[in-house]
Structure 1
């Protein structure tokens, strides 16, 4: 074999296809190697467990007063919600994580490398969504369960705790996990739409926290009740507790509509990623 032939054999490039499995591995490594994401996920976990136990303890202290206990019982006390108040704060945090996952790469320019490796772009976006959803569901799911168990142990001192076998308790726990996962994915979608971390985080936080408050001021003559019932963050309300509120959708219908909201947001994000230049 001649020297030229030997050199060609040694340096012939090998074409390798980018598979979705490879994209998943890449996004998994990126997700858990970014310090800000790891720290933010840890803060969300602490918020669920720490605030849940703290507020459960405060609630249990209130039951020590017979008059207060009677008022809370008359209002329909929900022990599950009492131990999972920290999930409301955590929902804002995981939404910010979703934004950082994609908008952070736009700010650093790393997204160009990702899209150069997978020119179709949507594979990268889908891999980010899967890794984000799985990570949030698992980590926050553990946090929700731990907050429930510890919170109910505190409430049980006053005889008002609940157990996993009670009616609708498991549904409420799964509802919280679904809510947290959905908010994280909504952050990813808005991050893809705006491509700016600060702007996307402010937008998501406003949609989750501010808009529902503003909708309370919409008069019934303008369809305020219907708007509030079908608005993004309100669709999961009955899935988060053991008792249903008649003003909002039933748990199954609410979660289904919540999934539609998330799918639409993710679809808009995919459309923008496909059409706009990096």
Structure 2
């Protein structure tokens, strides 16, 4: 009999590095796989467009009377502001999206899988931030410009509409989109810091709508005017307006300070991810 020789081959697992591109693909899939995120993004789009059109219709109705037309002509009709009213509610909605994107993973435990895949953790946060920023910019950008054109079409029936090429109009529209993206990223930072969806949403909403109201009674002698100017949600006010409000920072400096706030919140979230256990 002849002996048969078997050659045993050893199989070694192939180590694959997780690239940032891989993290981006993963986060993109996760972003559009979470039902609450999809619903919230759709609601933000509908709110920006729908409320903008409704307010424009209400403004046109007020202009139909002689007294209303005279009063608005004397005080100035903020045609862009009327069609951008929905963007104010949109900031609340996209802030919630930013919180949910990361805090939701902590509540389900999915974040453990993400951190096992990318132990550095900061790559996960960076990928989430980029995916969030791109999606919010595209969805709300389309909504903002659609709300503007529909709103101006309504107001044009009373000859109060404005064109996108008029002074400050395009800047105001882009400013609204920039604020929406920034607020969403701020929500991401707060979500990473608190790791709780309800707590994160309450915190970011309070910072946008409640704290500015609490700062108003502070007298100027105590620095109340500067506190209002430099508070997170007030810094970019003029970037969203055609006519600049002297109570707030100018559009350029305001956007810069707003960006510093957003980066600071993202930085705190990143620090929490690196120093706290899952």
- How many angstroms does 1:2 deviate by? 6.2
Inter-partner Cα distance in structure 2 for 1:252 and 1:211 = 23
Q: TM-score, normalised by structure 2?
A: 0.97
Where do 1:86-235 residues align within 5 Å? 86-235=86-235
**Residues 1:4 and 1:124: Cα distance change in structure 2 (over 3 Å):** farther
Deviations 1:92-131 (A, max 9, x none): 0000000000000000000000000000000000000000
**Residues 1:2 and 1:13: Cα distance change in structure 2 (over 3 Å):** farther
Deviations 1:145-174 (A, max 9, x none): 000000000011110001111111110000
**Residues 1:102 and 1:2: Cα distance change in structure 2 (over 3 Å):** farther
**Residues 1:58 and 1:18: Cα distance change in structure 2 (over 3 Å):** same
Comparing 159-168 and 62-71, the one that deviates more: 62-71
Inter-partner Cα distance in structure 1 for 2:6 and 2:215 = 77
- How many angstroms does 1:72 deviate by? 2.1
- How many angstroms does 1:76 deviate by? 2.9
Inter-partner Cα distance in structure 2 for 1:160 and 1:3 = 89
Comparing 104-113 and 64-73, the one that deviates more: 64-73
In structure 2, the gaps of 5 or more residues are none
**Residues 1:117 and 1:160: Cα distance change in structure 2 (over 3 Å):** same
- How many angstroms does 1:3 deviate by? 4.2
For 1:161, what is the secondary structure of its paired residue? coil
Structure 1 counterpart of 2:8: 5
In structure 1, the gaps of 5 or more residues are none
**Residues 1:3 and 1:207: Cα distance change in structure 2 (over 3 Å):** farther
Structure 1 counterpart of 2:250: 250
For 1:119, what is the secondary structure of its paired residue? coil
- How many angstroms does 1:70 deviate by? 2.2
Report whether the alignment pairs 1:238 with 2:238. Answer: yes
Structure 2 counterpart of 1:57: 57
Comparing 213-222 and 125-134, the one that deviates more: 213-222
Comparing 220-229 and 172-181, the one that deviates more: 220-229
Where do 1:40-51 residues align within 5 Å? 40-51=40-51
- How many angstroms does 1:241 deviate by? 1.3
Task: Name the count of aligned residue pairs.
Answer: 275
Larger Rg: 2
